[in-house]
A = this chain, B = another copy of it.
Amino acid sequence: MASELYSKEKTLELRRELIGSSCRLFFSEDPVKIVRAGGQYLFDEEGRRYLDCISNVAHVGHCHPVVAEAAAVQMKLQNTNTRFLHDNLVHYAKRLSETLPKKLCVFFFVNSGSEANDLALRLARQYTKHEDVVVLEHAYHGHLTSLIDISPYKFQNLEGQKEWVHVAPLPDTYRGRYREDHDDPATAYANDLKDVIDEAHKRNRKIAAVFVESLPSVAGQIVPPAGYFQKVAEHVHSAGGVFVADEIQVGFGRVGKHFWAFQLQGEHFAPDIVTMGKPIGNGHPLSCVATTKEIADAFAETGVEYFNTFGGNPVSCAIGLAVLDVIEKESLRENATQVGNYLMELLREQKVKHPIIGDVRGVGLFVGVDLIKDQEQKTPATEEAELLVERLKQEFIVLSTDGPGRNVVKFKPPLCFTACDAKFVVEKMDAILTDSSISYLGNSTENTQDRPPPKPVHSVSV
């Protein structure tokens, strides 16, 4: 097919006609049509180049030739299901096991992060014989029926909270109950989660699992205090449940110094289940659940087969292997650390200059810029964040917002993002924030009360 079959207007018309309108477009007023991509760049139908600061799925760079070639070669060879033996499946599992704590030594391959989290839920329930799940405020774990139920970010606008779901405070040291000035926020937040478990126990509920994103993303690019997971795991284990680390957004070296974001919590911490997704196949539908032998064996003891038609097929595994190779050969973790640190340094310089920037946080190439209307209340600068993203789009930079107030500008670019790209974005942000319209919004705290409150947050940009 030619790179453009329809005019942009026609594409948009057909999209509105044929695709469920629950499926939203970026920049819905004037969406972008992308016909070509490479590295950290996107090109529209008129050949205009956009700097992509948000496609964490295109982990090693859009259309990486090594990944494309691995797929092409295997697609010509064979692509049967996992009921036949194939080297790619076992070799890929072996390679992944080398990145993980030893106890996470059994693998299930599936097609999406949602499928991975749903399987994690099944594994946890089968192993513990319990039903309930503890999640964090504003969490998002996927689009399936079972996962909407454990995603406060979604269920608050749908059917509401199920009796088997329990929500613990977000360990947010910028806006939460225990902040940077607290002695031991990790313990304090973990104790809050224990209180949630205790409350559940009073109602005779039994905890199967806690699901935690290693770095909560839609909750506003949060970095939980180190040591929090260990203490949460203790409380959950005491309740007979398991600890599920959702690495779908942030795994595979995005945080730079570690391969997995849960490793930021401390050298020896190991979850009971790890779910992987988005970056794992650089855009190819592939995901994985890693767990312990005990949990996998309990699942097998039911005698019921788990068969996933496409999961772990030789093409998907060839792609997964190629992604691991590229991360290593191109030193992308080192790049994530260097460029991420540089980006945060530049953004912190901006924080001094622009009072609208309340916080710059993150690790590696997972960075959030929290925009506020006032220092004291840290009122989310929702409209300003939206306007900033819109203005950056005019400069051919793709960014987006997250967090319950939709005021956190989030960076999660392909890991080939450069220092030069970082400098370019921050300079543009500086210029826009210096410009009257946004700085007016940002500085005129006295006027904020006249403005309507932020619209309820319905969409999830992950």
Contact = CB atoms under 8 A, between A and B. Distances in A.
Contacts of A313: 283, 285
A79 to B, nearest CB: 4
B68 A76 contact: yes
Contacts of A315: 283-284
Nearest to A12: B85
A338 B15 CA distance: 38
Contacts of A3: 77
Taking the full assembly, how many copies of this chain does it contain? 2
Given A90-B14, A111-B112, A296 B22 contact: yes
A300 B81 CA distance: 35
Interface string A99-124: 00000011110111111001101100
B36 A62 contact: no
Contacts of A157: 302-304
B112 A80 contact: no
B106 A18 contact: yes
Contact of A112 (B36, B93, B112): B112
Contacts of A419: none
A387 interface: no
Contacts of A42: 78, 80, 84
A83 B307 contact: no
A155 to B, nearest CB: 9
A302 B459 CA distance: 11
A3, A145, A278, A313, most chain B CB atoms within 10 A = A145
Contacts of A176: none
B84 A62 contact: no
Interface stretch (A23-31, A254-262, A423-431): A23-31
Given A19-B89, A22-B305, A23-B82, 19 more contacts: A1-B91, A4-B87, A6-B90, A11-B85, A11-B90, A20-B300, A20-B306, A21-B300, A25-B85, A33-B84, A33-B85, A34-B80, A35-B87, A58-B80, A63-B77, A71-B75, A112-B309, A112-B311, A284-B310
In the A-B complex, the 8 residue pairs with the closest CB atoms: A14-B90, A37-B78, A305-B459, A285-B285, A33-B85, A22-B306, A18-B93, A285-B310
10 contacts: A19-B106, A20-B291, A34-B86, A35-B87, A36-B78, A42-B78, A111-B285, A114-B308, A118-B144, A305-B460
